[in-house]
Amino acid sequence: MINLYTEKIVKISGLKIHYYDDGDGYPVLLVPGLRYNAKTWIDVGTYDTIYNEGFRVISVDPPGQGKSDKGVYDEDTEYKFVNDFMNSIGIRDAVIVGASSGGYAAAGLGANYPEKVKGAVIVGGVRIINYKDKLKNMEGKPILLIWGSKDEIAPISNAQLILDNVKSSRLIYLGAQHACYLEKPKEFNDIIRDFLKNEIKPII
């Protein structure tokens, strides 16, 4: 358990961007869904789970979310924001964990800047079809898809699109809801821990 979460601010494209940053291992970057923020990953225990596995864990408020300024980027360019954020804080590559719009950004980063993504966890990623022609760029990287079995916001066809294009991806169903990590946080964090232990640690 982290006693005090380290909050930081970085300026990107004129925006003040807020994020949490703890640990000194290989970086894992958490990107929240549109209705949530950087602290959500702390509240559900995912931040601590990653930290306790010896990784550097970073949870960012995308523009217009949490304590970050709004502007410049939107949902369709959030993957560019993630790339700019990584460059701004000196991260060459990372494991990306993103939920909903954050999953859309994670897929976008892997599709457009595959060299930045060591592996990814995409949780109920929306609008994946927008990257259909570039998803193959993630081939060979460990890509874990986590979906609620009755997700009405991000249809399972989004996950299937990644499975069809990235043979190194796999799918786990968790709970029923779109925000399955909120519905079953303990199970979600166990899955994240196993993914980091078994699929990421051997390749970093």
Which top CATH class is 7-199?
alpha beta
- Report the C-alpha gap between 41 and 49 in whole angstroms: 10
DSSP 88-145: HTT-S-EEEEEETHHHHHHHHHHHH-GGGEEEEEEES-S-GGGGGGGGGGGTTS-EEE
Contact (Cβ atoms closer than 8 angstroms) between residue 156 and residue 55: no
Q: List, in sequence order, every residue forming a beta bridge with 58; answer none if it has no partner.
A: 21, 29
Q: What is the chain's pLDDT, residue by residue, as a tens digit (204 residues)?
A: 667 899 999 999 999 999 999 999 999 999 999 999 999 999 999 999 999 999 999 999 999 999 999 999 999 999 999 999 999 999 999 999 999 999 999 999 999 999 999 999 999 999 999 999 999 999 999 999 999 999 999 999 999 999 999 999 999 999 999 999 999 999 999 999 999 999 999 999
Two tokens, residue 146: 């986590």
Structure tokens that stand for 161 in this block: 């699109």
Q: CA 164 to CA 65: how far, in whole Å? A: 32
* Widest CA span in the chain: 44
Amino acid in the structure at residue 161: L
Domain ranges of the chain: 7-199
Exposed, middle or buried, 133 (CB in 10 Å: 0-12/13-18/19+)?
A: exposed
Nearest-angstrom CA–CA distance, 167 and 128? 16
